[in-house]
Amino acid sequence: MYKVFVNDKPLFLTNEIVKETDFQLFLLESADIKKVITKIFQNKIQKAYLYHPDEKEILKTLKTKMPVQKAGGGIVYNKKNEVLFIFRNGKWDLPKGGIEKGEEIEYTALREVEEETGVNKLVITDKLQKTYHIFKRNGRYKLKVTHWFEMRSTYEGPLLPQLEEGIEKVAWLNPDQISEALKNSYENIKLLFEEEKSLQSQ
């Protein structure tokens, strides 16, 4: 099952038919995806499932229905095991950004972290899950697929928020501060930290 966030509400892509209770179920092949997404944006639907019998084909099918934008980002740890966060649009977020032509996705993630925060000396230590969300740009819905990487950095210099990208501040947060920041963050960022916690406790 995949979770795609639309305006921070979950749209589940599933190959299992579940009995409807508090959500609406649509067939991915025949559903008018734009209508479903518009209703979620308008708060007419709080939670929806898109059903397709073949799990391997679910994401491919969704990608045929709207343009896809690829992005890369990082959960960056420093020597004290604090994590690098950015604050933008009134919410705590992680540094990430769109891929440029001809780039490898790992390079995109490293470049975007450095551009948005001023932190360099970055090393990728692990590949994390991808997150999915749908946004509207110029009247069109697009699916953003973000590839996440765990990174480490020995950088101890000043943090430089990329103001032209609307980033107001950059901060290294300790575990307690992270718990607090996640209360005012996005659902896909919370999802990443849930996975990160389960990886580290193994």
**Percentage of the chain surpassing pLDDT 90?**
80
**Same domain membership, residue 76 and residue 12:** no
C-alpha–C-alpha distance, residues 197 and 199, integer Å: 5
For the cut 60, the answer to whether the pLDDT of residue 199 exceeds it is: no
**Same domain membership, residue 92 and residue 174:** yes
**Same domain membership, residue 94 and residue 13:** no
Quick one: pLDDT at residue 16? 87
Per-residue pLDDT averaged across 119-148, rounded?
A: 95
Quick one: pLDDT at residue 171? 98
Predicted TM-score (pTM) of this structure: 0.91
For the cut 70, the answer to whether the pLDDT of residue 191 exceeds it is: yes
Q: Tell me which residue range forms the domain holding 158.
A: 68-200
How many structural domains is the chain composed of?
A: 2
**Same domain membership, residue 191 and residue 105:** yes
The tens digit of pLDDT for each residue in 50-105 reads 999 998 899 999 999 999 999 999 999 999 999 999 999 999 999 999 999 999 99
**Same domain membership, residue 163 and residue 95:** yes
* Sequence-distant contacts of 136-144: CB under 8 A, at least 24 apart: 136/41, 140/66, 140/67, 141/33, 141/34, 141/37, 141/66, 142/66, 142/67, 142/68, 142/69, 143/4, 143/62, 143/63, 143/66, 143/67, 143/68, 143/69, 144/68, 144/69, 144/70, 144/71
**Same domain membership, residue 89 and residue 48:** no
